[in-house]
Amino acid sequence: GGFHEHVQLTRKAAAWLATAQPPAPSPRPDIAAIEVRTEAELRRCDALIIPGGESTTISFVATQSGLMEPLREFVKVNRKPVWGTCAGAILLADEANATKKGGQELIGGLGVRVHRNHFGRQIESFVADLDLPFLTQGDDALKAASSSPYPGVFIRAPIVEEILSTEAKPSSSVEVLAVLPGRKTRAAEGVSQSTADDSVGDIVAVRQANIFATSFHPELTDDIRIHAWWLLEVLRSVASVSSA
């Protein structure tokens, strides 16, 4: 997975936030980005990015190394901020289609069903401009930097096939943050892929409470905007816990 790439872009985003204009209303705390491969390293974290790669392999390694249950506790019990990209998004989903025979262990917590490898094989990977209005909400410095489309890198990418019912927990409904236009959608609240509105586009970024997921790979670009936005979300979460 893209551990190194995520770490580097997170550090660049943190450095940008520390000096961004207009200035933040309060000083930015120091942000340290580390790679996590053990439970001890996970316990050090206030937030977590689960990178892309092969989701079945990541799931197998996490299970074999004893990390699967600590990851579930991190996401669903402690409810710390977590962001999954591509394979990471699959692992955070409550359900996944097109898995290998026998299925795969999921971390879960995100009330969606995803469709793995939705766009085909590696050679069918592509880059597409995405409109991400959520980047312009909140922080003034980020808003000022977010006038251009975002370059979405899709590599054997999943999509959100269906948003699962949240009737039992209406306060934590799934928020659609980005769609890839011009392609047949497979997702809608309580609607099957055969009856969903084709004009909507494929859902490629969602958020539910502490969980953020993208089908594409921001870490494979030089664009820090999503990492900066997510770090701001993390800082808000940490501040709310500290003041509680």
CATH code for the domain in which residue 217 is found: 3.40.50.880
Is 219 part of the annotated catalytic residue set?
A: yes
Q: Which pLDDT value is given to residue 171?
A: 56
pLDDT at 141 over 90: no
d(CA 195, CA 209): 28
Of these residues, 118, 219, 227, 233, which one is catalytic? Answer: 219
**What are the pLDDT digits (tens) for 5-51?**
999 999 999 998 888 765 555 556 678 999 999 999 999 999 999 99
Find the angle CA(224)-CA(228)-CA(229) to the nearest 5 degrees.
120
Q: What number of helices (H) and strands (E) belong to the chain?
A: 7, 10
Q: Is 156 annotated as a binding residue?
A: yes
Question: How many domains does the structure of the chain reveal?
Answer: 1
d(CA 130, CA 150): 5
Q: Is 225 annotated as a binding residue?
A: no
Please report, to the nearest 10 degrees, the dihedral formed by the alpha carbons of residues 114, 69, 73, 10 taken in order.
-70
Q: Is 55 annotated as a binding residue?
A: yes
3-state secondary structure of 151: strand
Which runs of consecutive H residues, i.e. helices, occur in 73-165?
A: 87-92, 140-144
Residues 6+ apart with CB under 8 A from 77: none
pLDDT at 156 over 80: yes
Of these residues, 6, 115, 118, 217, which one is catalytic? Answer: 217
Q: Do residues 67 and 105 make contact, with C-beta atoms less than 8 angstroms apart?
A: no
Is 5 part of the annotated catalytic residue set?
A: no
Q: Which pLDDT value is given to residue 193?
A: 41
Of these residues, 6, 86, 162, 227, which one is catalytic? Answer: 86
Note down the domain range covering 89.
3-243
For residue 22, cis peptide bond before it (omega within 30 degrees of 0): yes
Q: pLDDT band at 194, cuts 50/70/90?
A: very low
- Encode 186-217: b = buried (16+ Cβ within 10 Å), e = exposed: bbbeeeeeeebeeebbbbbbbbbbbbbbbbbb
Which residues partner with 22 through β-bridges?
none
CA distances from 15 to 30, 73, 83 (A): 9, 30, 20
Is 45 part of the annotated catalytic residue set?
A: no
Q: pLDDT band at 189, cuts 50/70/90?
A: very low
Q: Do residues 138 and 232 make contact, with C-beta atoms less than 8 angstroms apart?
A: yes
Q: Is 186 annotated as a binding residue?
A: no
**What are the pLDDT digits (tens) for 75-108?**
999 999 999 999 999 999 999 986 666 667 899 9
d(CA 219, CA 225): 11
